Amino acid sequence: MKSHQRGRWRQVGKIPKQKKYENFCKIFKIKYNYKKRPYSSLIDVFKFRDSIAHGKTTTDRKTSFNINIDPENIAQAEWQEIARDISKIKQTVEDVKLIINELGQKSGTSNDPLNEFGSSTIVANLKHK
């Protein structure tokens, strides 16, 4: 990211996650469509994150109870319901990887930022010189 863009980014302050992504897309000229994968998965990730970070207590009032119900089927938090669908989770992870790679490529930093050496590797290499 160019220095004038970094300065602008600091001025933006706290904006919603989706808007931050859209700002990156504007800067790096990325066309996205939230109605299609992989971008639709980004909305799911943000929703999942918010359901964990901003969970709210709810009260469920029952007038009758089924004592033969499997405890696994008792009402659960929204994030728990989402976490049950392993195939959707795997697809979402792959979609997010595609988005991260696209951002890395368009920003000029890397074609595959998830496979770059981490900063700890760089520090370890510097110590041995």
Determine the angle formed by the axes of helices 39-53 and 17-27, rounding to 10 degrees: 150
pLDDT by 10s per residue, the chain, length 129? 566 666 666 665 678 889 999 999 999 999 999 999 999 999 999 988 888 887 777 776 766 767 777 776 666 677 777 778 889 999 999 999 999 999 988 988 877 777 765 544 444 444 444
Say whether 75 sits in a helix, a strand or coil.
Answer: coil
pLDDT of residue 69: 75
CB burial of residue 92 (10 Å; 0-12, 13-18, 19+) = buried
Q: What is the pLDDT of residue 2?
A: 62
Task: Give the Cα separation of 24 and 18 in Å (integer).
Answer: 10
Boundaries of every domain in the chain: 34-54+76-129
**What per-residue confidence (pLDDT) applies to 95?**
96
